[in-house]
């Protein structure tokens, strides 16, 4: 039986247009909306697989503002068991702080008799892109960590994890307890069922605080780069544009014969 | 002052992104330039380092390093940092580079800035880095005894130094701690072909992204590439969903292409994708969305469904 903790972050929808707050310090998610990143949705899907195959459970944890409970409940709606919100001002926290806050929450749970054989996180946060929370957490916990994982299986005390390396699919076999950071692609994210949504509404989400003193992220300002001026020539629309496109190809001398 | 750059080896040479990181590190004028290679440094890699102006190439020959383990690589980078008395360590912003430097950061309790595109000042170290998948830039201060940063791929052109470096090879004396091998690759399931030379040398590249719709959505793309004597290039969404192999990926964490024509179909044109295709002589976008960045940044565009447009183009070509 493996209990899995999945760490998710509430982020402005990264597929939407980036609008900054007036002070230029944050992405304003009010327009695009907030979501859980694709990597973390994949992490939840993998965690649910592990829980199903080992008879374990999945806890979704988020460090952030009170509203992050939406992302926690979205995880419960697709199969997680319960949630933990570590309430903190995300703007004050850097990657080392988030790792410390997660480690502290794990200690609190452990003291209450709940241990997690596997902790999953996204490989990189969709907004801050620091690429380090999972690795820092693993060192705080003294556990091995594998990054960029796309699929995983747990058999007893050993996890087999796979991710893409420069020469092919890399396979790891790691003794539990362990930490892994997940990249989307190995598993389809789950969609909530009506029953799942009902369960999510009622499920227990424990709220914890974090008592550490943050070192922060060193952010001075954000900017959205202006695209360089460009005039695109629209050849046309749909299949009607095919002759025009071929004429351009011939002009560019890339058509032979 | 000195800088250590983690150099990744690819097909016996310093990888392109590693050579970019060397060029970038040299341009900072932050003192002696050192390189660190995990495993014995092949001669061609030492030559690449020499061209880039590297004074010392640190290598680690411990047989325990034969299979990748991020923590063990981090131990090697730390040892090189000590040997070079580095106050700055740079790694390529690849999967490995970001992972290894995160380990160094965690082990030494240091700050790390990922996917840096520019350095504004050295003391204090102020960088510009990509956030929100490259849609925004963050100006950040990186303080600490030793500063760690990874370079976004293709943010600079690799170039040779005015005067080659000595590139003295210095073996690092270190024994890998078994603790650092707890998470180590046990085997690699090799891809049939990992060769990117066809893509990077092609005069025509037909690109496809999420708009292809699925692994079966590439038939017309393949045929058109063949008809134009070119290669197929794809976005990261396509490789991470497993629709096509990674060696076909164009972009910051894929290949950089510079063909006469890049015909990008169903690709939105994210900053990271653009980093790999910006040097194309002519770009034509085929996209259902007239406001997609790939369209607005292209020379020519066709607004429409690639599954309809490409077959019509093939028919027109005969
Ligand atoms: C650190 C980092 C590194 C990265 N490195 C890379 C990299 O090297 N290369 C890379 O590509 N990405 C990279 N990315 C990912 C990048 O941010 C984007 O997510 C990715 O490029 C988007 O791929 P896409 O354009 O195929 O998909 P989307 O952004 O989803 O765009 C799909 C496009 O297809 C169009 N479309 C949909 N259906 C059709 C149709 N039937 N016909 C025509 N058009 C259609 C849509 O209008 C849209 O414009 C990286 C991200 C990060 C954070």
pLDDT tens-digit profile of B161-211?
999 999 999 999 999 999 999 999 999 998 766 667 789 889 999 999 999
**Which three-class secondary structure state does DSSP give residue B116?**
strand
Question: Do B24 and B7 meet the contact criterion of CB atoms below 8 Å apart?
Answer: no
Q: What is the pLDDT, as a whole number, of residue A190?
A: 85
Over range A161-188, report the average pLDDT: 92
pLDDT along chain B (318 residues), means of 10: 95 94 94 96 98 98 95 98 97 96 98 96 94 91 95 91 97 96 95 73 95 97 96 94 89 88 96 90 97 96 98 96
Of A132, A168, A219, the CB nearest to B138: A219
- Can you list the domains of chain B with their CATH numbers? 2-181 (3.40.50.620), 196-317 (3.40.50.1220)
- Verify whether ligand 1 is closer than 6 Å to residue B297 (CB atom): no
Task: Indicate which residue's Cα is closest to atom 35 of ligand 1.
Answer: B266
Question: Do B2 and B32 meet the contact criterion of CB atoms below 8 Å apart?
Answer: yes
Q: What is the pLDDT, as a whole number, of residue A165?
A: 87
> Which residues on B lie below 8 Å from A246 (Cβ)?
313, 316-317
- Verify whether ligand 1 is closer than 6 Å to residue B92 (CB atom): no
Give the integer Cα–Cα distance in Å for B30 and A244.
Answer: 53
Q: What is the pLDDT, as a whole number, of residue B194?
A: 61
- Verify whether ligand 1 is closer than 6 Å to residue B15 (CB atom): no
Q: What is the pLDDT, as a whole number, of residue B193?
A: 61
Question: Do B153 and B251 meet the contact criterion of CB atoms below 8 Å apart?
Answer: yes
In sequence order, which residues have a C-beta less than 8 Å from that of residue B272 and are 6 or more positions away? B130, B133, B134, B153, B236, B251, B252, B253
Over range A227-254, report the average pLDDT: 94
Show which of residues 188-207 on chain A sit within 8 Å of chain B, judged by CB atoms.
Answer: none
Tell the burial category of B79 from Cβ atoms under 10 Å away from its Cβ (0-12, 13-18, 19+). Answer: middle
| pLDDT bracket for residue A227 (50, 70, 90) | confident
Task: Indicate which residue's Cα is closest to atom 50 of ligand 1.
Answer: B272
Of B132, B150, B187, the CB nearest to A27: B132
State whether A165 and B298 contact (CB < 8 Å): no
Name the closest residue on chain B to residue A19, using Cα atoms. B136
Residue to probe by mutation, ligand 1, list B102, B114, B272, most atoms within 8 Å of CB: B272
- Report the complex ipTM: 0.94
* Interface residue of A13, A218, A255, A256 to substitute, partner B, most B CBs within 10 Å: A218
Q: What is the pLDDT, as a whole number, of residue A151?
A: 96
Q: What is the pLDDT, as a whole number, of residue A115?
A: 96
Instruction: Please say if the pLDDT value at position A186 is more than 90.
Output: no
> Which residues on B lie below 8 Å from A152 (Cβ)?
none
State whether A246 and B228 contact (CB < 8 Å): no
- From residue B314, how far is each of A59, A255, B190, B311 by CA, in Å? 52, 11, 34, 5
Residue scoring higher pLDDT (B160 or A191): B160
C-alpha distance from B166 to closest chain A C-alpha (Å): 29
> Which residues on A lie below 8 Å from B295 (Cβ)?
232
Of A18, A136, A239, the CB nearest to B312: A239
Instruction: Please say if the pLDDT value at position A32 is more than 90.
Output: no
> Which residues on B lie below 8 Å from A252 (Cβ)?
260-261, 282
Of A183, A222, A248, the CB nearest to B136: A222
C-alpha distance from B188 to closest chain A C-alpha (Å): 5
Tell the burial category of A115 from Cβ atoms under 10 Å away from its Cβ (0-12, 13-18, 19+). Answer: exposed
Atom of ligand 1 nearest to the CA of B306: 42
- Verify whether ligand 1 is closer than 6 Å to residue B253 (CB atom): yes
- The mean predicted confidence, pLDDT, of chain A is 95
When computed from its CA atoms, the radius of gyration of chain A, rounded to whole angstroms, is 22
Q: What is the pLDDT, as a whole number, of residue B105?
A: 98
Tell the burial category of A17 from Cβ atoms under 10 Å away from its Cβ (0-12, 13-18, 19+). Answer: exposed
Q: What is the pLDDT, as a whole number, of residue B301?
A: 98
Of A74, A46, A39, residue with least CA distance to A60: A74
For A4-208, the fitting CATH number among 3.40.710.10, 3.40.50.620, 1.10.3720.10, 1.10.1790.20 is 3.40.50.620
Residue ranges per structural domain of chain A? 4-208
Q: What is the 8-class DSSP label of residue B132? A: G
- Verify whether ligand 1 is closer than 6 Å to residue B50 (CB atom): no
- Verify whether ligand 1 is closer than 6 Å to residue B268 (CB atom): yes
């Amino acid at each position: 039986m493996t209990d899995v903790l999945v760490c998710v972050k509430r982020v402005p929808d990264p597929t939407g247009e980036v609008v900054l707050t007036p002070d230029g310090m944050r992405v304003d998610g009010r327009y695009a909306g907030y979501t859980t990143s694709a990597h973390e949705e994949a992490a939840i899907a993998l965690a649910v697989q592990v829980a199903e195959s080992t008879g374990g459970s999945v806890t979704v944890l988020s460090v952030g503002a009170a509203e992050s409970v939406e992302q926690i409940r979205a995880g419960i709606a697709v199969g997680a068991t319960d949630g933990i919100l570590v309430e903190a001002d995300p703007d004050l926290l850097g990657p080392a702080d988030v790792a410390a806050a997660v480690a502290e929450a794990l200690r609190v749970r452990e003291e209450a008799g709940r241990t997690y054989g596997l902790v999953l996180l996204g490989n990189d946060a969709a907004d801050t892109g620091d690429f380090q929370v999972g690795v820092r957490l693993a060192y705080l916990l003294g556990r091995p960590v594998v990054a960029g994982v796309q699929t995983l299986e747990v058999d007893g005390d050993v996890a087999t994890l796979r991710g893409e390396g420069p020469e092919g699919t890399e396979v790891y076999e790691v003794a539990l307890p362990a930490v892994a950071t997940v990249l989307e692609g190995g598993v389809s994210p789950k969609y909530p069922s009506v029953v799942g949504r009902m369960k999510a509404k009622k499920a227990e989400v424990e709220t914890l605080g974090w008592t550490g003193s943050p070192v922060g992220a060193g952010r001075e300002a954000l900017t959205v780069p202006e695209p360089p001026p460009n005039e695109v020539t629209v050849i046309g629309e749909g299949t009607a544009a095919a002759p025009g496109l071929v004429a351009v190809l011939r002009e560019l001398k890339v058509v032979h014969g | 002052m000195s800088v250590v750059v983690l150099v990744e080896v690819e097909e016996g040479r310093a990888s392109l992104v590693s050579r970019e990181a060397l060029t970038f590190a040299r341009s900072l004028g932050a003192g002696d330039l050192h390189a660190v290679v995990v495993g014995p440094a092949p001669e061609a890699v030492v030559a690449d380092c020499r061209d880039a102006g590297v004074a010392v190439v640190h290598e680690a020959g411990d047989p325990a390093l034969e299979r990748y383990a991020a923590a063990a690589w981090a131990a090697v980078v730390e040892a090189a940092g000590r040997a070079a008395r580095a106050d700055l360590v740079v790694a390529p912003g690849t999967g490995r580079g970001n992972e290894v430097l995160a380990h160094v950061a965690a082990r030494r309790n240091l700050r790390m800035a990922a996917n840096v595109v520019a350095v504004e000042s050295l003391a204090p170290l102020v960088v510009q880095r990509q956030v929100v998948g490259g849609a925004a830039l963050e100006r950040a201060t990186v303080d600490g005894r030793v500063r760690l940063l990874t370079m976004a791929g293709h943010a600079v052109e690799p170039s040779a130094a005015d005067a080659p470096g000595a590139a003295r090879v210095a073996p690092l004396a270190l024994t890998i701690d078994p603790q650092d091998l707890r998470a180590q690759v046990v085997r690699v399931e090799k891809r049939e072909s990992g060769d990117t030379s066809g893509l990077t040398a092609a005069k025509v590249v037909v690109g496809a992204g999420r708009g292809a719709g699925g692994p079966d959505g590439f038939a017309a793309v393949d045929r058109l590439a063949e008809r134009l004597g070119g290669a197929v290039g794809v976005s990261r969404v396509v490789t991470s969903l497993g629709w096509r192999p990674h060696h076909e990926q164009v972009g910051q964490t894929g290949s950089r292409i510079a063909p006469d024509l890049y015909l990008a179909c169903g690709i939105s044109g994210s900053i990271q994708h653009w980093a790999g295709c910006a040097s194309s002589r002519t770009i034509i976008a085929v996209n259902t969305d007239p406001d997609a960045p790939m369209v607005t940044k292209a020379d020519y565009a066709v607004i429409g469904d690639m599954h309809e447009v490409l077959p019509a183009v093939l028919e027109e070509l005969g």
